[in-house]
Structure 1
Amino acid sequence: MKQLILVCLIMVSVQLYGQDSTKVGTPIIVAKLYLGKSLNIDNVEVKFVKVLQDSRCPKGVTCIWAGEVIVLVDVFKEGKKFETQKITINSKIPLKSRFGNLFSSDDVTISALNVQPYPIYDKKINPEDYYIQLEIKR
């Protein structure tokens, strides 16, 4: 009988202490912003205005230079134009420093991660297919 009580106590304590105590951070949201469209986050609006240049080396081709993509983005705060940013994304800059920080406040940070679609040899990209992947941290 004592052994049964001991086993029960051990099982209860294992269950109590076996709970996951991992702290979970704030989730990161990744959103797509298509060319000519706007995205509203709180009182901030981000608009993908234009692809200025896309010289990225297409898939299926061997290139000497990886190339880069340059886009123009307007940022509005509380309905008023805050700034226009030219963002350059290429493969030579490390990923963390490559993020184009579009807007940052105490409440939200919006960064450009990437521009898609990636060029493919012998396939033209329609302008309306371009989108920026945005990282939104609250």
Structure 2
Amino acid sequence: MTTVKRIFYGIFVVLLTILVSQSMAKAQVQGCSQSGHPVTTGGNQFPLRVDESLFLEPASLEIKLLNIEDSRCPSDVQCIWAGQVTATISVISDGQSLGVFPLTLKAGQEDLAVANVEGHSIQLINVVPYPMSTQSKETLHYIATLAVSQI
């Protein structure tokens, strides 16, 4: 019986260690959308629509998605240039504007997708939906996914 207890204890310790290490690895910036609901994407990635804000605590930062400019080649067309998409954000701390930052996804220029503000790295990860030639850009309701981490 003692051997069985040791085995279960060993398994318990290993599982607990794995859970704790995963929790620490996924230590995230806590945020909520403009509606006040927590963002539930997991990790440190947050989806935002135009005119929505993300509030980060305890840093007291507000990140607002101001607009999306999309010149990506539609997925159902062959283009000579892939294009790019830019999400423009504003960052506010304690009611004070820290600036407006364009974050651009462009092939081969990953540095354009990152802004470092007040000890945080804000990176544009993705913008959906991807354009199609049959859709008007005015009818698209873009969602930008931002990754936020402390630096």
> TM-score with structure 1 length normalisation?
0.75
Spell out, residue by residue over 1:38-62, the C-alpha distance to the aligned partner (whole angstroms, 9 max, x if none): 22222111121222x3111111122
User: CA shift at 1:82, angstroms?
Assistant: 0.5
- Count of paired positions: 126
Does residue 11 (structure 1) correspond to residue 4 (structure 2)? The answer is yes
* Ranges in structure 1 where 5+ consecutive residues have no aligned partner: 1-7
User: CA shift at 1:75, angstroms?
Assistant: 0.8
Spell out, residue by residue over 1:2-44, the C-alpha distance to the aligned partner (whole angstroms, 9 max, x if none): xxxxxx2221111111222221222523222111222222211
User: CA shift at 1:103, angstroms?
Assistant: 3.2
In 2, the alpha carbon distance for the partners of 1:54 and 1:109 equals 23
What SS does the corresponding residue of 2:48 show, helix, strand or coil? strand
- CA RMSD after TM alignment: 2.4
In 2, the alpha carbon distance for the partners of 1:88 and 1:109 equals 14
How has the CA–CA distance of structure 1 residues 119 and 64 changed in structure 2, closer, same or farther, with 3 Å as cutoff?
A: same
2:33 corresponds in structure 1 to: none
From 53, 57, 62, the counterpart of 1:45 = 62
In 1, the alpha carbon distance for the partners of 2:86 and 2:6 equals 58
Q: Could you tell me the percent identity over the aligned residues?
A: 22
Higher RCO, 1 or 2 (CA under 8 Å, sep at least 6)? 1
How has the CA–CA distance of structure 1 residues 89 and 121 changed in structure 2, closer, same or farther, with 3 Å as cutoff?
A: same
> TM-score with structure 2 length normalisation?
0.69
- Stretch moving more, 60-69 or 108-117: 108-117
Query: Does the 8 A contact of 1:75 with 1:102 survive in 2?
Result: no
The runs of 4+ residues in structure 1 deviating greater than 6 Å are none
How has the CA–CA distance of structure 1 residues 71 and 121 changed in structure 2, closer, same or farther, with 3 Å as cutoff?
A: same
1:129 corresponds in structure 2 to: 141
Map 1:65-104 to 2 at 5 A. Answer: 65-93=81-109, 97=111, 99-101=113-115, 103-104=117-118
In 2, the alpha carbon distance for the partners of 1:99 and 1:70 equals 8
Query: Does the 8 A contact of 2:88 with 2:101 survive in 1?
Result: yes
Larger Rg, first or second structure (1 or 2): 1
